[in-house]
Amino acid sequence: MELYTDPINIKESFAYSRELMSHQIEAIESLNKYFNLSGKKNVQQNGLLVMPTGSGKTFTAVNWLLNSGVAYGYRILWLAHRQELIDQTNNEFRNQAPSLAKHGINKLRIIPISGMHLKMSQASRYDINICSISSVANKYGYRFIRRLLGAPGLEKLIVVIDEAHHAVSPSY
């Protein structure tokens, strides 16, 4: 497995084109209305994106996070419990990264963190951190999570819990 840790040069990236379906557009519009990340006042909010299996939740979430989050200066912390979900999400962010060109963003830094990828100790100032729960929720992960998250109140951060129904388990 090849790891890509260099920043993505948006201008030189292949423009990945996949049309949003009507239900995905509706989901993105609902997320924008609920969170209003382009507004000046940032407050802690919780939300849940619910879509049927196979309807493109990851594609939709990544599209929204890039164009309504990263485009407005937010960093992303995406937590997942399985290796396949980390790989899928990492690939999706990389595929859709060229969409940031329309927002004047030239570079994007993405890091996958898991037992098969990079370590929490290597996470520093990335725009998008895609982490396994086991990498974050242990004594070594806790040491680096503060650096990854930044100073409270100073960083604009969106935390995503993939497969959120697992979040009630003690390991989360």
| Residue of higher predicted confidence among 122 and 135 | 135
Kindly report the pTM of this predicted structure. Answer: 0.86
State which of 89-93, 111-115, 165-169 shows the largest mean pLDDT.
89-93
Domains in the chain (CATH in brackets) are 22-33+55-168 (3.40.50.300)
Give pLDDT, residue 1: 42
Helical ranges in 36-127 per DSSP H: 57-64, 83-96
Going by pLDDT thresholds of 50, 70 and 90, the confidence category of residue 118 is low
Q: Which of 54, 46, 2, 69 is nearest to 24 (CA)?
A: 54
